[in-house]
Amino acid sequence: MAPLPRVAHASEPGGARGSGYPSRVARIYTKTGDDGTTGLLYGGRLSKADPATEAYGTTDEAVAALGLARALAGDTALKEEILALQRELFVVGADLATNPKQRSKLQPSVSLVTADMVKRLEARIDELVTEHPLRNEFVVPGANPVSAALDVARSVVRRAERRVVELRDSGAEVNEDALRYLNRLSDLLFVMARVAAGESEPRSRGK
């Protein structure tokens, strides 16, 4: 995920005066990426085509996809659970977007994915499957807007996982807990989608 935009002060070149921006208002555009690079957490830049950029960029897509699911959800508890998952994906994004030489600065569960985060997902999956046993067959997503959005988010998380594997295979340092987290999150979203769909999902094969 891209770092927060820097605040341009009125006294600085390109600051608020003469630009139409009030003092201390963050600029959306910085022009620093016009050369095809993007900034890393704790400094440094790399190509926007780098496997790391693709990995944390796809994680950002997953956050957005979950935002759609949350917007569609009518149940307050479900909204809160999705929001919590979005926030944890920001931890994944920070973990992936950090300058490799500065990883010692990462904070567990804030900017560094931990084993406990993975275990919490596993416990939630087990809880939901116990309450809502899954069918032993393939289903076609799209029973209702919420379940469909959760399935879209699940597929984006799966893609993020593949991008992190590609990043690791390229020789980059990757936190294995971040990779495990994405794997378990996609499983959790699959289960959540089935719960949201209820009994109305069509099977992959007609009778």
| 36 vs 34: CA distance, rounded Å | 5
What is the mean predicted confidence (pLDDT) over 89-114?
A: 96
Superfamily of domain 37-197 in CATH is Cobalamin adenosyltransferase-like (1.20.1200.10)
pTM: 0.84
CA dist 154 → 33, 81, 83, 183 (Å) = 30, 15, 15, 10
Q: Which of 124, 125, 90, 100 is nearest to 4 (CA)?
A: 90
Question: What's the confidence (pLDDT) of residue 138?
Answer: 85
Q: Which residues does residue 46 pair with via DSSP β-bridges, in sequence order? A: 38
pLDDT at 3 over 80: no
Q: Give tens-digit pLDDT for 117-167.
A: 999 999 999 999 999 999 888 889 999 999 999 999 999 999 999 999 999
61: buried, middle or exposed (CB in 10 Å: 19+, 13-18, 0-12)? middle
Domain definitions of the chain by residue range = 1-31, 37-197
- Is 18's pLDDT higher than 60? no
Query: Please, what is the average pLDDT of the chain?
Result: 88
